[in-house]
Chains A and B, each alone.
Chain A
Amino acid sequence: MDNIEYLFAGFAVFWAALFIYLLTLQARIRSLHREIEHLEERLAASEGVTAPASRDLRGAPGASGGAPARGTTNS
C-alpha cells in the first residue's frame, strides 16, 4: 500500500504548525520585552522627578521570577 504522500503531509502539517506557533510566540515575547524595557525607562525617569515611593509596587504581584531579569533600570 503506497501512501507515503499522506505520511509526508502529516509530518509537514505538524512541523509547519509548530514553527508558525513558535515564530508568533517569539515575536510576541520580543515585543513584550521591548515594551517592558521602554516602560521601565519611563518609570525610572518619572521616579527621578517624584519621590521613589512605591518601588516595590512595580510589576504584578510577584513579578520577580517572571520575565527573565534583563533590561533592568539603567539609572
Chain B
Amino acid sequence: MSTLLLRVYDWRWSVLPPVTGIAMMAMIVGALVAAPREIIEGEVQRLMYLHVPSAVIMYLAFSVTAFASVMFLWKRDIRWDALARGAAVVGVFLCGMALATGAIWGKPIWGVYWTWDARLTATLVLFLIYSAYLLARSVAGPLDEQAARYTAIFAIIGVADIPIIQMSVRWWRTLHPQPIVFQPTPALPTEMLAVLALGFIAIAALAAWLIVLQTETERAAQRTSALRAEIDHREIA
C-alpha cells in the first residue's frame, strides 16, 4: 500500500502541473465562453465557477491539515508537520480567494461587498483561525518539535470547532430579522453543471499541486535548519 503510494507520489511533477494547467484553461474557457449567460445575474455569475470550487476544496485542504496534525501527534515524524503546514497555506489561500470572489460577486448582485450572512461570517472566522495557525507555526523554527505539537493541537481544535461555528453563526443570523439575500437557487442547467464540475477538477488539481509544492518547500526549510544544526554541532566539536 505505502509503496504504491510512494510510486504514485513519484509522478507528481510529471502529472500535477500539466493536469492543473489543462484543467484550469478548460475551466476558464468553459466559464467565460461555453457556459450560458445567467439571465438574472448576468455576466458576473460566471465567477461561480471559481468561487464554489474554491470554497469547497478549502475544506478538503483544512481536513488534510487536521489529518496530518493527527498523524504528527501519533507518529512524531516532522514530515507530517510539513504536510499540515503546506495544506494550511493552500487552504488559507483558497479561503481568501473564495472570500474575494464572493465579495466581488456580491457588489453588483447584493449591492454590498460584504454582508454578515451566516456562511460568509463562518468562512471569515475559518480564515482567521488558520491564518493564526500559520502565524503561530512560523514564529518557531521548522524543526521546533514543541511548536509543531502546539500548532497541531490547535489545528485539530480548529477543525472540530468548524461545525459549532457554523451552527452558532447560523443561529446568530437567522434568529435576527434580516432582508432575504439567498433565494432558493433554481436547479442549474446541464451546461452550467458541466462547467462547475470542470471547475471542481481544476481547483482540486491546483490545490493538490500547490499542497505538494508548499509541503516540499517546508521540507526544504526543515532540511536547511537540520544542516545548519549539524554544522554548528561539528564546529563546536
Contacts and interface: CB of A to CB of B under 8 A. Distances in A.
Complex: A in contact with B (CB within 8 Å): yes
Contact of A10 (B6, B44, B219, B237): B44
Contacts, number: 123
A7 B127 CA distance: 23
Interface string B212-224: 0110110111111
Interface string B173-206: 0000000000000000000000000000000001
Main secondary structure of the interface of B (DSSP, over half): helix
Nearest to B45: A7
A72 interface: no
- Which of A36, A54, A68 has most B Cβ within 10 Å? A36
Contacts of B226: 58-60, 63
A33 B223 CA distance: 10
B43 A13 contact: no
Contacts of B40: 1
Contact of A13 (B93, B104, B223): B104
A58 B104 CA distance: 49
Interface in B221-237: 221-224, 226-228, 230-231, 234-235, 237
16 contacts: A1-B43, A3-B44, A3-B108, A4-B43, A6-B108, A10-B44, A17-B100, A21-B210, A25-B214, A25-B217, A29-B217, A40-B227, A42-B231, A43-B227, A54-B230, A61-B77
Given A4-B42, A66-B223, 6 more contacts: A17-B100, A46-B231, A58-B227, A60-B226, A61-B78, A67-B220
- Please list the 3 inter-chain residue pairs (A to B) with the smallest Cβ-Cβ separation, ordered nearest first: A1-B42, A66-B219, A39-B227
